[in-house]
Amino acid sequence: MNTPDSAAPPAAAPTPRTRTLADPDTPFAVVDLHRTRRNIERLRARADRLGVTLRPHVKTAKSLDVAALLHDGAPPCPVTVSTLAEAEAFADGGYTDITYAVGIDPHKLPRVIALLRRGVTVRLLLDSAEQAASVAEASRRAGLPLPTQIEIDCDGHRGGIRPDAPALTGIGRVLHDAGCLDGVLTHAGESYFAYSAQERRLAAENERDAAVTAAGRLRAAGLPAHTVSVGSTPTAHAAEDLTGVTELRAGNYVFFDLVMAGLGVCRVEDLALSVVVTVIGHRPEHGWIVTDGGWMALSRDRGTAVQAQDQGYGLVTDLDGELIPGLVMTAASQEHGTLTARDGAGLPDLPVGTRLRVLPNHACATAAQHRGYHVVDGARAPRAAPRTAPVIQDHWERVTGW
């Protein structure tokens, strides 16, 4: 019989070979840690100056590893989610203050109640008396309050009721009588089309005014409005005064993307998400370089199509993240991308097998095409001589499904 003493000493663990962006088969998504940290710090500093709690929306990265950067060693921060799958994954990861910022479908309440019973605060959103009645009834049956916010429409973008809507106090009353009224929430969705800093400042003021007005009406009716929540990436970076607001939400700001750069909310050098692709062919007669990264890898999002500068499916960099001037991904089929030159740039000489990175229109949509991210640290992996590809430091999984 073998005893620990008589057994052979354990073999030394094999040293894992350092992997770089030249190694995994393409296409795959990459997160630049340095840029992500810088983007996170930029909005954290703003929220501190504005004196509001930051409640990041984790729907962009859908990653516990990215979220860990948001609180950076401190206890988990409040978060916003877009699906109950995210709420459940973040609850499993230790997050206990979660706002589910999509109008509640009453069919989903059992999963919400299960999270509440685990001690996780899940804040709901709604904009109708029907939903309020469902929430109030579920709360009474479960014997626990379901903290709920009333969605306020500040700019006609999507859901919510107007801050002056007569229905507001009635909905508030139904929720309050069941112990469920938590406050109000609004989102300046139209700020994604605000092309000047001045327009975004006005959008931020309007967003705050809508939320504060609605909260004031609830209070004037003798109802509570603990939470007064506003936010979108463009307005979060434009707001100058959030008096009356208790928390700020934003999601895209951790990665940014070409839509945000086109608005002027960030620079192209701030984009922290890209997709590594490989050149698989050339059609010089058409001026095309063909890659193995199509819409399956980039998504079908063409958000910059409505901007002054249409960026196709994305701008192209080398493997170090340096922009290749004038090279744009202009077409996509399922597993093929087409790169073309613009602005008088010649088509660069990129042989079959060359790896490139594509900076996407819309980080939320592109990230959603991938199960996870390879992570590089742009700050630690600048150009070296002899040139090697940036080292992969980690792999982060995404939450998927609903």
List residues binding a second copy (CB under 8 A): 25-28, 59, 82-84, 102-108, 111, 127-128, 130-131, 134, 153, 156, 158-159, 189, 278, 280-283, 286, 290, 292, 295-297, 299-302, 333-336, 338, 351-353, 362, 364-365, 368-369, 371, 400-402
How far apart, in Å, are the Cα atoms of 354 and each of 21, 30, 277, 292? 12, 17, 8, 11
Tokens representing 354? 């060359």
What is the dihedral sign for C-alpha 380, 383, 384, 389?
Answer: positive
Check: CB of residue 134 under 8 Å from CB of residue 109.
yes
**Distance of alpha carbon 111 from alpha carbon 313, whole angstroms:** 37
User: Would you say 52 or 254 has its CB closer to a second copy?
Assistant: 254
CB of 64 to a second copy, least distance (A): 19
Type of residue numbered 57: H
User: Would you say 49 or 286 has its CB closer to a second copy?
Assistant: 286
CB of 8 to a second copy, least distance (A): 32
User: Would you say 38 or 336 has its CB closer to a second copy?
Assistant: 336
CB of 278 to a second copy, least distance (A): 5
CB of 125 to a second copy, least distance (A): 9
Check: CB of residue 149 under 8 Å from CB of residue 125.
yes
User: Would you say 73 or 401 has its CB closer to a second copy?
Assistant: 401
Residue 298 CB partners (closer than 8 Å, separation 6+): 275, 313, 314, 329, 332, 337, 358, 360, 366, 369
User: Would you say 52 or 358 has its CB closer to a second copy?
Assistant: 358
CB of 243 to a second copy, least distance (A): 28
CB of 24 to a second copy, least distance (A): 9
User: Would you say 106 or 244 has its CB closer to a second copy?
Assistant: 106
User: Would you say 52 or 298 has its CB closer to a second copy?
Assistant: 298
CB of 1 to a second copy, least distance (A): 25
